[in-house]
Structure 1
Amino acid sequence: MDVRTLEYFVAAVECGGFTKAAARLHVTQPTLSEAIRRLERECDAPLFHRVGRGVVLSEAGAVLLTYARRVLKDMEDARQSMIALRGFQGGRVTVSAPPALSIEPLARIVGNFRRAYPDVTVVMLPTEDGALAAAAVANAASEVGLTDRPVSADLRAHPIGSNEIVVVLPPGNALSGKGPVSLEQLAGVPFISSAVGTRARNLLDESKERGIALQTAVETPHREAVIPLILEGVGAAFLPWTVSREAESRGAVVLPLLPRVAYDLLIVHRDQPLTAAAEAFVATALGSSPVGGD
């Protein structure tokens, strides 16, 4: 079981088939297929189930995937450390983050980092939510992650600020200028419901469970559609304060909630030595100004 074979295996998983994986790695398909067969013999278990022209992971393959990614990440970390010994020229750092945190604070952190280390490439790995951003770090898909959720004990987490959920209403709404509002004051207001699992969706669902009559006007998994829908007067939405600023700049009414729905923002990494680039990125994040709704 060598590193190159593990690279073939991970590529086959990520590409969903041997043909695309071989093309990505610039090898022939027979070469990649034979390597996977050797790996299956070494593991004494099938790693994939063949489905049509594609493949899906077997149970044994799913177990191996976590370890394979860690091995490849450790090898990349070693390479980056050698680059650091040559004066921190070049190198790269992979950062996972959900959409809201990619806007703020990640964009600002990346800007500060690139100004300090212009030769280092930052690879931004998008995830659906903060929990998946932390999971990407845990399984070595990324080196560093930004999250707004609690993380497991095998990750190191550093607070880098705070955020809060606010209510964003269409321009000219009657509540404009009335300060913090309670959920009860929003009864009867039509709402735009975002993807399941987000903090905003959870707040909307919990409010209804408490008997507060918040109406659902639109359900959409497309986060980029929420602000345009608000501006069109379709309804209100719960959004992170950092995201709400765009809507406010375009005329939407943004009000804090009473009581506040605040939470911490964290930068996380595995509990082991970082590459020089990742260590510098974490230090940059910790030195950046915290965000918040105040």
Structure 2
Amino acid sequence: MNLQAIQAFVLSHQLGSISAAAKKMQKNRAQLSQWISNLEIDWNVELFTRSGHKPVLSEQGLKMLPLCEQLLSAKQHLNEQVEQIANLDCLRLNLGVSAYLQDSAIAKVLSQFNQAYPQVDLHIYQRRDEQLLNWQQQPSLDLAVCFYRDAFPSQFTVEPLCEMPVVAVCSRTHQLASATSTTLQQVLSHTWITVLSSTNTELWDPDTVQRQIAVEHHSLAIELCLRGVGVFVGQQQQLNPYIETGELVVLAHNDAIANEQLGLIYSKQTTVSPAQQALINLCKAEFRNKPH
């Protein structure tokens, strides 16, 4: 099947003449006219009526037109996918995500990326920020979306996205919930619920915390906090629904609510692939300068 002939048929109708279609395709008019005639012979149909100076679709041509347009659209989509695959440096991306980020925001970014790059495998590692910033295990991360402090490894490029408030909370049944004011030492004397980190990673939690319960999943940490097990520090937007209902209470301390800087982290030593750049751009569109 001659796809150029099908394009000539569609363009002749859209542009109003075979001459205009020939100019668009950078071919001569006689060649397009022959291509269209060959289609009519091959398909045993009449695409245009032969009366008048302008091509007018016949009844058969009217039925064939949408089918031909769909075929050309599918060809264009195929070409775009082939070009993407040819330009990819890899068919897998390893993304590190702060365990304190909301799943819904990350899922939005990943679903958009999946639509644009369905052939790229994604491996998502949800970890504490310290672990992502000091990632030493295999596989290496292509990109991380996490909170960072003043110091971070020099081999990383860090692109700031936005500030997000984090808040220290406890259950309404917890001993600290009824306190009108607290000192740091009083807060640290209680059990803290944290997200598990690797054993070789330096943690941001104060050394003077007397007891920790470390879990792998953010949702379990919140559930333990709701049951009065201990103090938890998390993203304010994610905890607000529980704070508004009174299930969780913000600690009565000046530093109970603080802003943390969220950023994109990736290695300076590797060339950014088109797929990786697309993921970076989607993260920027979702998080940069937006309240979360």
Amino acid at match of 1:145: A
Match of 2:258 in 1: 261
Larger radius of gyration: 2
Q: Residues of 1 paired with 2:273 and 2:289: CA distance?
A: 26
Q: Residues of 1 paired with 2:234 and 2:226: CA distance?
A: 14
Amino acid at match of 2:212: E
Q: How far off its partner does 1:178 sit? A: 11
Please state whether the residue corresponding to 1:146 is helix, strand or coil. Answer: strand
Match of 2:278 in 1: 280
Please state whether the residue corresponding to 1:258 is helix, strand or coil. Answer: coil
Deviates more, 1:157-166 or 1:249-258: 249-258
Q: How far off its partner does 1:83 sit? A: 6.6
Q: Is 1:96–1:136's contact at 8 Å kept on the other side of the alignment? A: no
Match of 2:167 in 1: 166
Q: How far off its partner does 1:145 sit? A: 1.5
TM-score under structure 2 normalisation? Answer: 0.51
Q: Number of residue pairs matched?
A: 199
From the superposition, tell whether residues 102 and 285 of structure 1 become closer, same or farther in structure 2 (CA, over 3 Å).
same
Q: Is 1:137–1:268's contact at 8 Å kept on the other side of the alignment? A: no
Structure 2 segments unaligned to the other structure (5+ residues):
1-81
**Structure 1 segments (4+ residues) deviating >6 Å:** 137-140, 172-179, 291-294
Alignment of 1:81-96 (within 5 A): 84=84, 86=86, 91-96=91-96
Deviates more, 1:246-255 or 1:274-283: 246-255
Identity of aligned residues (%): 13
From the superposition, tell whether residues 238 and 86 of structure 1 become closer, same or farther in structure 2 (CA, over 3 Å).
closer
Match of 2:107 in 1: 107
Deviations 1:159-179 (A, max 9, x none): 122233312221467988999
Q: RMSD value over aligned CA atoms? A: 4.3
TM-score under structure 1 normalisation? Answer: 0.51
Match of 1:156 in 2: 157
Please state whether the residue corresponding to 2:229 is helix, strand or coil. Answer: coil
Matched, 1:289 2:287: yes
Alignment of 1:1-294 (within 5 A): 84=84, 86=86, 91-101=91-101, 103=103, 105-127=105-127, 129-136=128-135, 141-149=140-148, 150-171=151-172, 183=183, 190-194=190-194, 197-199=202-204, 201-202=205-206, 205=207, 219-224=212-217, 225-241=220-236, 243-245=238-240, 247-248=242-243, 252-255=247-250, 258-259=254-255, 260-271=257-268, 272-290=270-288
From the superposition, tell whether residues 235 and 145 of structure 1 become closer, same or farther in structure 2 (CA, over 3 Å).
closer
Please state whether the residue corresponding to 1:131 is helix, strand or coil. Answer: helix
From the superposition, tell whether residues 250 and 103 of structure 1 become closer, same or farther in structure 2 (CA, over 3 Å).
farther
Structure 1 segments unaligned to the other structure (5+ residues):
1-81, 209-215
Q: How far off its partner does 1:277 sit? A: 0.7
Deviations 1:109-149 (A, max 9, x none): 2233234444433211344x323323438987121112322
Q: How far off its partner does 1:222 sit? A: 1.5
